[in-house]
Chains A and B, each alone.
Chain A
Amino acid sequence: MAIITMREALRQAMDEEMARDKNIILMGEEVAQYNGAYKVSQGLYDKYGEKRVIDTPITENGFAGVGIGAAMAGLRPIVEFMTFNFALQAFDQIVNNAAKMRYMSGGQFKVPVVFRGPNGPAEYLSSQHSQATQSFFAHVPGLKVVAPGTPYDAKGLLKSAIRDDNPVIFLESELMYSWEGEVLEEEYVIDIGKADVKKDGSDVTIISYSKPLKYAMESAEILEKEGINVEVIDIRSIRPLDEETILNSVKKTNRCVIVDESWPFVSVASHIGWLISHKAFDYLDAPVELVTSEDVPMPYNHKLELAAQPSVEKIIKAVKKVMYI
């Protein structure tokens, strides 16, 4: 397998799909002539031209709506948000139109649109530009929400998202674009709604996704040296959620830590915590622990910025807490 960056994996996914289906268009701020703010769409403008790779003005609510309308009219748009922080401008379009149109039209309209872009805290961006928005979108019925943690998963999941007839929120992470990983050279897709056991273990389950998955894996490695055998589950798809894989793991290990870089209150993590307490109650030996971002706006100061987010230290501490050591 080739070792490529997440950025390249995402580009390959879009390139392969656009080559396969001429109804697929890409739109967003600086995606065309500038090759993307984070260079995810590099080369696509030259290859597919201005009718399929479209630069938009800074009008998130507007171009998100255009994307939804285009999807209803038969195209398959990929709408890039320069960051999901800006998607909050388009929240009405996403929540009220994209998510509900198929339902409200009695199935007459499909909305095969993908909203993608970086999500979650990066660095030195302060509180308006550095937030993890997954809980907002995951809350809304009608949206699929996907957040890969490796280049391999990113490519396979993006291809599935593009082929999906429903709106998919595809969450990337700015800091992850340059992370490398093995990616299959031949064509493959990963089904939305399937979690992945990233590491087998018997003592405790860490559930994570997207960027913090890396911290979970690092924590597992450190804990392993102390004799604690950690299982790491990457949910990959937030909605639909693969409950079976989560529950099977917790039933095996009896202890669980959920790592989520969004805020703790009514979050993806808190939902999974409830799910476990509800459906695996008799298998629990300890209360489920959450490691999330602190319940505050993101500080600008770098030390505080780091302190507000999940870290390897916080995960190890939580694991030891559920292990009663």
Chain B
Amino acid sequence: MAEKLYMIALSPTMEKGTIVKWNIKENESFSEGDVLCEVETDKTTMDYEATDEGTILKILIPEGGKAAVGEPIAIFGEPGEDISDLLSEEKEEIENVEEKTQIEKQVETKNTTIPKEIPENNDLKRIKISPLARKIALMKKIDISKIKGTGPGGRIVKRDVENYTAEPVRTVKEIKREYASIQVETRDEDVVIPLSDKRRIIGERLSQSKYTAPHFYLTVSVDMSNVLENRKMLNKKYNLSLNAFIIKIVANTLKKHRRINATLNNDSIIEFGRVDIALAVAQEDGLITPIVRNADKKGILQIDDELKTLIDKAKNNKLDPEEYTNATFTISNLGSFGVDEFTAIINPPGSAILAIGMIKETPVVENGEIVIKPIMKMTLSSDHRVIDGALAAAFMKDLKDTFENPILAIL
């Protein structure tokens, strides 16, 4: 019986592979262990070894073609076998998938095709399932490897799919989460806290950011004397937070460095025309990032006013989604916790985040003499796909200059 040869996951995170070379051509036979083809995965080029023997009857994905894990790439069997049925089935399959992806594209933009069967342990185990049950599972996006079949020989039938209530097919994000966490054995004294939705989303988003964006870090020490003096002066009349100053200075510097205020969008980079700065605020059950929109166009007084409202709302869980999503740049300030310096994870869709440490009286050598200055260390995490080192450094230099001479912010 001719069978389909499926693309397998050749690395843990592989979703798709490009067939670089077919070592076994059509009508050539192979035995177990032979390298059928070379597959370029997300990481490297791997050998696809045969786990069976047979003859390649038809190559479905030619050299240079891509296939998702679980998609057929060839048909093999005995020489001369009639494979017209498998081929027409394949054609239908492709049409179905195309139709399905069309629909999915309308619904969600990011997730591409769902693999038909998710291989377990990279091993394409044959799952007995009725055609109807398979169809229902596909429509409901249920991973059939999770369903227990009650038909003859464990065949999954309609009622099994209908009675199945657990999670839909794992998306790429979820697979990553599984890789990130490990199975832990709990003991009596351990406290098990179920993951809140918020915690889960933070985890997913930040994992995605850290996995997909190549981070690099630049740390700069800033003399905060002038900012502190200005603040002290203004605070005779107002009660302005340091964060308002920081946001204002960062926003105005960002305006001059458009590439730092940018994001990667598929095959293009978007340099944002707005400067919306998020400030990470700690809550009991996680972190939230309320946003001061168009901070470059606002004065410190207004920024401070907005911040007070936002932080108040954040602490009471009253923020509307539009008040904490789609910032172009983020600031995380752990100075009040006595942290000297740290690195933060980029908050998408932004391509950079500024981590601010505490202002500390520090001995500094100035003109050959040791003087004591209020020094603040700040670290920029940048997405190297968008921002190069020199660009980030130029921004940090400008930022340092502006912090040290705040009047530059109003230029």
Interface residues of A (CB under 8 A from B): 254, 281-286, 324
Determine if A324 and B132 form an interchain contact, defined as CB atoms under 8 angstroms apart: no
B400: CB under 8 A from chain A? no
Interface residues of B (CB under 8 A from A): 130-135, 150-152, 157-159
Which residue among A254, A281, A283, A285 has the maximum number of chain B CB atoms within 10 Å of its CB?
Answer: A285
- For the complex of A and B, the 9 pairs showing the least CB-CB separation, nearest first, are A285-B132, A285-B158, A285-B130, A282-B135, A282-B131, A284-B131, A281-B131, A324-B151, A254-B132
Q: How far is the CB of B146 from chain A (nearest CB, A)?
A: 19
Which residue among A254, A283, A284, A324 has the maximum number of chain B CB atoms within 10 Å of its CB?
Answer: A324
Q: How far is the CB of A320 from chain B (nearest CB, A)?
A: 12
Chain A residues contacting B130 (CB-CB under 8 Å) are: 284-286
Residue of B nearest to A278 (CB): B85
Determine if A254 and B135 form an interchain contact, defined as CB atoms under 8 angstroms apart: no
Chain A residues contacting B135 (CB-CB under 8 Å) are: 282-283
Q: Which residue of B131, B134, B152 contacts A324 across the interface (Cβ within 8 Å)?
A: B152
Separation of A284 and B151 alpha carbons in the complex (Å): 13
Separation of A246 and B153 alpha carbons in the complex (Å): 28
Chain B residues contacting A282 (CB-CB under 8 Å) are: 131-132, 134-135
21 A–B contacts, CB within 8 A, in A order: A254-B158, A281-B131, A282-B132, A282-B134, A282-B135, A283-B131, A283-B132, A283-B135, A284-B130, A284-B131, A285-B130, A285-B131, A285-B132, A285-B133, A285-B157, A286-B130, A324-B150, A324-B151, A324-B152, A324-B157, A324-B159
Separation of A71 and B132 alpha carbons in the complex (Å): 49
Chain A residues contacting B159 (CB-CB under 8 Å) are: 324
List 4 additional contacts besides A254-B132, A286-B157, A324-B159; criterion CB under 8 Å: A282-B135, A283-B132, A285-B130, A285-B158
Chain B residues contacting A285 (CB-CB under 8 Å) are: 130-133, 157-158
Chain A residues contacting B158 (CB-CB under 8 Å) are: 254, 285
Residue of A nearest to B138 (CB): A282
Separation of A254 and B131 alpha carbons in the complex (Å): 10
Residue of B nearest to A324 (CB): B151
Chain B residues contacting A284 (CB-CB under 8 Å) are: 130-132
Separation of A254 and B157 alpha carbons in the complex (Å): 10
Separation of A282 and B157 alpha carbons in the complex (Å): 12
Separation of A282 and B131 alpha carbons in the complex (Å): 5
Chain A residues contacting B150 (CB-CB under 8 Å) are: 324
Q: How far is the CB of B129 from chain A (nearest CB, A)?
A: 10
Residue of B nearest to A281 (CB): B131
Q: How far is the CB of A275 from chain B (nearest CB, A)?
A: 15
Q: How far is the CB of B170 from chain A (nearest CB, A)?
A: 24
Chain A residues contacting B157 (CB-CB under 8 Å) are: 285-286, 324
Q: How far is the CB of B60 from chain A (nearest CB, A)?
A: 20
Separation of A150 and B159 alpha carbons in the complex (Å): 36
Q: How far is the CB of A192 from chain B (nearest CB, A)?
A: 32
Chain A residues contacting B131 (CB-CB under 8 Å) are: 281-285
Residue of A nearest to B156 (CB): A285
Separation of A74 and B28 alpha carbons in the complex (Å): 63
Residue of A nearest to B132 (CB): A285
Separation of A305 and B159 alpha carbons in the complex (Å): 39
Q: How far is the CB of A280 from chain B (nearest CB, A)?
A: 9
Chain A residues contacting B132 (CB-CB under 8 Å) are: 254, 282-285
Residue of B nearest to A287 (CB): B130
Residue of A nearest to B158 (CB): A285
Which residue among B134, B151, B158 has the maximum number of chain A CB atoms within 10 Å of its CB?
Answer: B158
Separation of A283 and B150 alpha carbons in the complex (Å): 18
Q: How far is the CB of A125 from chain B (nearest CB, A)?
A: 38
Q: How far is the CB of A222 from chain B (nearest CB, A)?
A: 22
Separation of A324 and B129 alpha carbons in the complex (Å): 13
Separation of A283 and B253 alpha carbons in the complex (Å): 63
Separation of A286 and B157 alpha carbons in the complex (Å): 8
Residue of A nearest to B149 (CB): A324
Separation of A286 and B159 alpha carbons in the complex (Å): 12
Separation of A286 and B150 alpha carbons in the complex (Å): 12
Residue of A nearest to B133 (CB): A285
Separation of A186 and B157 alpha carbons in the complex (Å): 49
Residue of A nearest to B89 (CB): A281
Q: How far is the CB of A257 from chain B (nearest CB, A)?
A: 16
Separation of A281 and B96 alpha carbons in the complex (Å): 15
Q: How far is the CB of B93 from chain A (nearest CB, A)?
A: 11
Separation of A93 and B135 alpha carbons in the complex (Å): 49
Separation of A271 and B266 alpha carbons in the complex (Å): 52
Q: How far is the CB of A256 from chain B (nearest CB, A)?
A: 12
Residue of B nearest to A283 (CB): B132
Separation of A284 and B129 alpha carbons in the complex (Å): 10
Chain B residues contacting A286 (CB-CB under 8 Å) are: 130, 151, 157
Separation of A5 and B209 alpha carbons in the complex (Å): 81
Residue of B nearest to A286 (CB): B130
Q: How far is the CB of A204 from chain B (nearest CB, A)?
A: 12
Q: How far is the CB of B101 from chain A (nearest CB, A)?
A: 19
Separation of A286 and B132 alpha carbons in the complex (Å): 8
Separation of A254 and B152 alpha carbons in the complex (Å): 16
Separation of A284 and B135 alpha carbons in the complex (Å): 10
Q: How far is the CB of B133 from chain A (nearest CB, A)?
A: 6
Chain B residues contacting A281 (CB-CB under 8 Å) are: 131
Which residue among B130, B135, B150 has the maximum number of chain A CB atoms within 10 Å of its CB?
Answer: B130
Separation of A284 and B132 alpha carbons in the complex (Å): 5
Q: How far is the CB of A223 from chain B (nearest CB, A)?
A: 17
Chain B residues contacting A324 (CB-CB under 8 Å) are: 150-152, 157, 159
Residue of A nearest to B157 (CB): A285
Which residue among B132, B150, B159 has the maximum number of chain A CB atoms within 10 Å of its CB?
Answer: B132
Chain B residues contacting A254 (CB-CB under 8 Å) are: 132, 158
Q: How far is the CB of A31 from chain B (nearest CB, A)?
A: 50
Which residue among B152, B157, B159 has the maximum number of chain A CB atoms within 10 Å of its CB?
Answer: B157
Q: How far is the CB of B86 from chain A (nearest CB, A)?
A: 13
Separation of A286 and B151 alpha carbons in the complex (Å): 9
Q: How far is the CB of B195 from chain A (nearest CB, A)?
A: 36
